[in-house]
Structure 1
């Protein structure tokens, strides 16, 4: 007799779960309020957390290794790493934003951004091209909250 693993079904169900229910799951699994990020972010973090709780998280030696690598990159200076993270996402990062039912994917390049096969110097220009109005690209793509700007 084989046992049925319910985790793959739970993960698949995330795609069709209404956003308020995803936020409720977040509160249950993380014991905190969900962040104000897009639905896809919530789905991916919930999927990781469900698997982490069911199968176990990273091994302690893996966590230590990652922490060492981070210290090597920024000298362990949290302020420096935050400034660096705020400047621009890592090259190759894909920013995904749904606007009026259309999913837009922007790729971070070494010298800017790429959307629909065209290079852009700023994500604000891409946000403007998508919406037809002036937007702060960092806010539009969820990289910075409106409150953080104030």
Structure 2
């Protein structure tokens, strides 16, 4: 049952790309119970996709939401995050010299 529901949600999310703006706004009204904002497809699609997944799988865990809020706060204060794996690798274009 869960696999069928997941496949259904995936299909719904993928189908958003092929819908017209009018169809997306109609879907927005049915999901959010409000009029769709006057934006383009590129604005509507990610928000509709998130909402479809949220309705199917439930909202984000509170712990995860807090972690994202903390990261957003730190980024607003100017903190930059690096990928620890990539930070240990030489930069592209670095010339490595072997010494024997």
* TMscore range, shorter length: 0.5 to 0.7
The alignment's C-alpha RMSD in Å is 2.5
- 2: distance between equivalents of 1:2 and 1:61? 24
- 1: distance between equivalents of 2:56 and 2:70? 27
Instruction: Count the aligned residue pairs.
Output: 75
Normalised by the length of structure 1, the TM-score is: 0.42
Structure-2 residue corresponding to 1:18: 20
Structure-1 residue corresponding to 2:44: 42
* Long gaps (5+) in structure 2: 78-100
1:38 CA drift (Å)? 1.4
* Long gaps (5+) in structure 1: 76-150
Q: If each structure's strand is expressed as a fraction of its own residues, which one has the higher value?
A: 1
- Mapping for residues 99-114 of structure 1, pairs under 5 Å: none
Q: If each structure's helix is expressed as a fraction of its own residues, which one has the higher value?
A: 2
1:71 CA drift (Å)? 4.0
| Deviation digits for residues 52-81 of structure 1 (CA, Å, limit 9, x no counterpart) | 110122110111222333444558xxxxxx
- 2: distance between equivalents of 1:31 and 1:23? 11
Relative CO higher for 1 or 2, CA cutoff 8 Å, sep ≥ 6? 2
Structure-1 residue corresponding to 2:97: none
